[in-house]
C-alpha cells in the first residue's frame, strides 16, 4: 500500500466504504469489486485501498480471528505478523515476569502490540516504515494512551519507562507487497545490535524457526513455537524474561490449548530400536529444540533411525508433543508391495507422510490403487539403508 492509498482510505468515506464492502476472498471477487466501485465514481487510489484491505481482512482471519474485521494491513505486514494466539502467550510471559510497559521495536502492523495491550500492558510501538507505523497506530487506536506508536528506527527508540523490549527484526526486504527473505547479516535492526540490547535489557527477540543455532547467545532461553502443526517462530528471551535453568523450550499450541517442554540443554537422543507397535512423529518445535530424546523417554520409545526424527515403541501411550500411529504392516517402499497391502486392508482413503526418503507424496500417490472403503496413513521412511512403507492408523492426540 502506498501513502496516497492510505490517505484515501483513512477518511470517513474510505472507512465506511471498506466496512460496507464485506469480505473478499477470491481474485474474481476482487475484480468484480474494483469494477463496481470504479463505475460508482470512486477514485483509483480509494478503490485500490478499499478492495485490497477487504481482501487482506479475509486472509487475516486465520491469524487474528474476528479482530481482523476492524484492522488494516499491508500484504507483507500480514505475512510477517505474529498470530494473535501466539502473541497472547508472549504477553502472558511479560506479565508473569512483572513487566508493566514494553517497547515493541519493529512492531509491523501491530500484531504483538495488540496482544500486549489486550493483556493490560502499556505499549510503545516503533516501526521504521511510515505506512506500516500509520497502520499500526490505527490498529492500536482502541487502546488509547496505553498504546503509543512512533515512526522511526528501532535503534533510536526512547526506552525510558519501559521494563522490557520486544523485538521482531525485519527478515525480508523493505516493501508492502512483494518482498524476499534476507540473510541474518541483513536483518533490520542488525542482530549484533539486538543481542547487545538484549544483554542489558530484558528482551524477547522473534526470529525464524530455522535460525542458525550456533549463532544464538549462550545465556538466552531459546523457545521454538509451533501452532496447529506448523513451527512459526523462535523466540529468544533474556534477563528476567528467561526462566531460570531453561535454555531450550518447545511450545506446542493446538487450538486454544498449549503444552511446553523445557530443558537446560539439548536432550541426548534415545537409543535406536526396531520398529514396534507404534510410530511417533515429534512436533516440529520439539525437533528444532532438539528435545526428541526427552519425548522418547516419556513414551518409553527409541529412535527408528539415528538420522530421522521418528520414534517407535510398544507402549500404547502418546503425548501432546508427537503425532502417534498404530502400526498395521510394514513392506518395501515400492508401489507393487504397497498396493497389495492396501487391497488386503480395503484402503480407499490414504494420508501419505515421509521422512528420510526422496519421494514426492503427490507423485507417489498416483502410483497407488485406492479402491477400498477404509482409511489409513502410509509413512514412507528410511531405516538403515532400506526404504520402508509403514501402513498405520492415527492415534488420538493426548489432551
Same domain, 205 and 246: yes
163 and 217 fall within a common domain: yes
In this structure, the answer to whether residues 184 and 333 fall within a common structural domain is no
Q: Note whether residue 273 is domain-resident.
A: no
Strand 203-207 vs strand 230-237: parallel, antiparallel, or unpaired?
antiparallel
What's residue 225's pLDDT? 98
For residue 271, tell me if it sits in a domain.
no
Residue 56 lies in a domain: yes
Residues 304 and 229 in one domain: no
In the predicted model, is pLDDT for residue 173 greater than 60? no
In a domain, residue 65? The reply is yes
Coil, strand or helix: which one is 108? coil
Number of compact structural domains in the chain: 3
Does 185 score more than 90 pLDDT? no
Average pLDDT (49-75) is: 93
* Same domain assignment for residues 180 and 308: no
pLDDT(91) > 60: yes
Listed residues 71, 91, 112: the one ending a domain: 71
Claim to verify: residue 83 and residue 153 sit in the same structural domain: yes
Out of 34-48, 180-194, 200-214, which region has the weakest mean confidence (pLDDT)? Answer: 180-194
Does 272 reside within a domain? no
Check whether residue 227 and residue 284 sit in a common domain.
no
Percent pLDDT > 90 in the chain is 85
- What's the whole-number mean pLDDT along residues 324-334? 96
- Flag whether pLDDT at 140 surpasses 80: yes
Q: What pLDDT sits at residue 175? A: 53
Average pLDDT over residues 42-67: 92
The residues, ordered by sequence, that sit 6+ positions from 275 with a Cβ below 8 Å of its Cβ are 304, 312, 327, 330, 383, 388, 390
CATH number, position 249:
3.40.50.150
Q: Which of 17, 52, 71 is the last residue of a domain?
A: 71
Among the candidates 235, 263, 291, a domain finishes at 263
- Residues 93, 61 share a domain: no
User: Does residue 112 fall inside a structural domain?
Assistant: yes
270 occurs within a structural domain:
no
Are 165 and 87 within one domain?
yes
Angstrom CA distances, 162 to 102, 124, 150, stand at: 5, 8, 14
> Looking at the structure, do residues 63 and 86 belong to the same domain, yes or no?
no
Q: For position 170, what pLDDT does the model report? A: 76
Same domain, 191 and 113: yes
pLDDT confidence of residue 188: 84
pTM: 0.90
Same domain, 213 and 115: yes
Domain that holds residue 25: 3-71
pLDDT of residue 181: 63
Please determine, for residue 399, whether its predicted confidence score (pLDDT) is greater than 50: no
pLDDT band at 398 (very low <50, low <70, confident <90, very high): low
pLDDT in tens, 120-139: 999 999 999 999 999 999 99
Q: For residue 299, tell me if it sits in a domain.
A: yes
Q: What percent of the chain has pLDDT over 70?
A: 96
In this predicted model, what pLDDT tens digit does every residue of 204-246 receive, in sequence order?
999 999 999 999 999 999 999 999 999 999 999 999 999 999 9
Which ranges in the chain belong to alpha helices (H)?
Answer: 3-9, 12-21, 27-39, 44-64, 75-80, 84-96, 111-118, 130-140, 191-198, 284-289, 292-298, 335-344, 361-365
Question: What digits encode the pLDDT tens for the residues 257-269?
Answer: 999 999 999 999 9
Amino acid at each position: 500500500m502506498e501513502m496516497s492509498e492510505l490517505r484515501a482510505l483513512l477518511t470517513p468515506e474510505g472507512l465506511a466504504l471498506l466496512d460496507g464492502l464485506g469480505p473478499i476472498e477470491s481474485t474474481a471477487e476482487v475484480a468484480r469489486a474494483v469494477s463496481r466501485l470504479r463505475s460508482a465514481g470512486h477514485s483509483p487510489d480509494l478503490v485500490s485501498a478499499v478492495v485490497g484491505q477487504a481482501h487482506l481482512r479475509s486472509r487475516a482471519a486465520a491469524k487474528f480471528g474476528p479482530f481482523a474485521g476492524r484492522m488494516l494491513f499491508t500484504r507483507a505486514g500480514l505475512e510477517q505478523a505474529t498470530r494473535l494466539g501466539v502473541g497472547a502467550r508472549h504477553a502472558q510471559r511479560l506479565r508473569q515476569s512483572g513487566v508493566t510497559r514494553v517497547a515493541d521495536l519493529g512492531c509491523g502492523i501491530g500484531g504483538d502490540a495488540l496482544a500486549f495491550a489486550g493483556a493490560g500492558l502499556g505499549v510503545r510501538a516503533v516501526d521504521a516504515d511510515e505506512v506500516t507505523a500509520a497502520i499500526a497506530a490505527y490498529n492500536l487506536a482502541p487502546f488509547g494512551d496505553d498504546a503509543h506508536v512512533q515512526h522511526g528506527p528501532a535503534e533510536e527508540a526512547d526506552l525510558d519507562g519501559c521494563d522490557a523490549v520486544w523485538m521482531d527484526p525485519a527478515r525480508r526486504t523493505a516493501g508492502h507487497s512483494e518482498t524476499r527473505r534476507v540473510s541474518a547479516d541483513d536483518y533490520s535492526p542488525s542482530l549484533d545490535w539486538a543481542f547487545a540490547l538484549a544483554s542489558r535489557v530484558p528482551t524477547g527477540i522473534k526470529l525464524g524457526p530455522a535460525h542458525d543455532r550456533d549463532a544464538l547467545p549462550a545465556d538466552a532461553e531459546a523457545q521454538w513455537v509451533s501452532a496447529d502443526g506448523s513451527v512459526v517462530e523462535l523466540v529468544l528471551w533474556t534477563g528476567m524474561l528467561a526462566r531460570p535453568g531453561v535454555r531450550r523450550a518447545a511450545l506446542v499450541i493446538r487450538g486454544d490449548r498449549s503444552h511446553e517442554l523445557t530443558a537446560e540443554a539439548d536432550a541426548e537422543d534415545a537409543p535406536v530400536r526396531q520398529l514396534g507397535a507404534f510410530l511417533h512423529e515429534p512436533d516440529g518445535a520439539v525437533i528444532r529444540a532438539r528435545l526428541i530424546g526427552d519425548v522418547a523417554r516419556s513414551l518409553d520409545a527409541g529412535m527408528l533411525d539415528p538420522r530421522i526424527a521418528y520414534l517407535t515403541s510398544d507402549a500404547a501411550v502418546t503425548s501432546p508433543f508427537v503425532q502417534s500411529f498404530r502400526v498395521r504392516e510394514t513392506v518395501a517402499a515400492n508401489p507393487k508391495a504397497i498396493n497389495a497391502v492396501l487391497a488386503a486392508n480395503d484402503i480407499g482413503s490414504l494420508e501419505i507422510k515421509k521422512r528420510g526418503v526422496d519421494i514426492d507424496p503427490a507423485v507417489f500417490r498416483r502410483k497407488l490403487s485406492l479402491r477400498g472403503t477404509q482409511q489409513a496413513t502410509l509413512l514412507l521412511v528410511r531405516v538403515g539403508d532400506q526404504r520402508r512403507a509403514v501402513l498405520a492408523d492415527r492415534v488420538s492426540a493426548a489432551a
